[in-house]
Structure 1
């Protein structure tokens, strides 16, 4: 990831990543995670960070909040979130 990422975006990604960790067994938190990630995606597109936005879109495609059942893709989504957060921290010089 070559783009110079603003620290604000890194903080937003960290918050959304932490929210996902809370959401694994909580439908309301899961929905909140999905909505937060969607909002961040829009923000990234507005700032023209299309590469990161595309990666978040991939995460959203795998995220399907369900009531009364465990998410089958929780581990996949969690790992994707951790990876993109780590990469953006590195790109931001953290």
Structure 2
């Protein structure tokens, strides 16, 4: 990922990662995470950060908020978000 990612986008990705950690056992937070990530995806596509947008799309494809049950893919989504966050921070020099 050799894109010059603005700091506010890096911060939004970090926030989304933290939000997912809170969302694992909380349906409302889970839905908030999904909505937040969807908005971020649109922003990234508008800014033409297509590679990063594709990675977030992969996260969203695995994220399916459920009511009254634990998410089957919480660990997978969490690891995907951590990987994306680390890579974005590395590119941004953080």
CA-CA distance at 1:25 after TM superposition? 0.3
The 5 Å alignment of 1:53-68 reads 53-68=53-68
Q: Partner residue of 1:24?
A: 24
- Could you list the per-position Cα deviations for residues 37-86 of structure 1 after superposition, in whole angstroms to 9, with x for gaps in the alignment? 00000000010000000000000000000000000100000000000010
Aligned to 2:70: 70
Stretches of 4+ moved more than 6 A in 1?
Answer: none
Cα displacement (A) at 1:93:
1.1
Q: Which runs of 5+ in 2 are unaligned?
A: none
Stretches of structure 1 that go unaligned for 5 or more consecutive residues are none
Query: What is the aligned partner in structure 1 of residue 12 from structure 2?
Result: 12
Q: CA RMSD in A?
A: 0.4
TM-score, length basis structure 1: 0.99
Cα distance in structure 2, aligned partners of 1:16 and 1:29: 11
What TM-score do the two structures reach when normalised by structure 2? Answer: 0.99
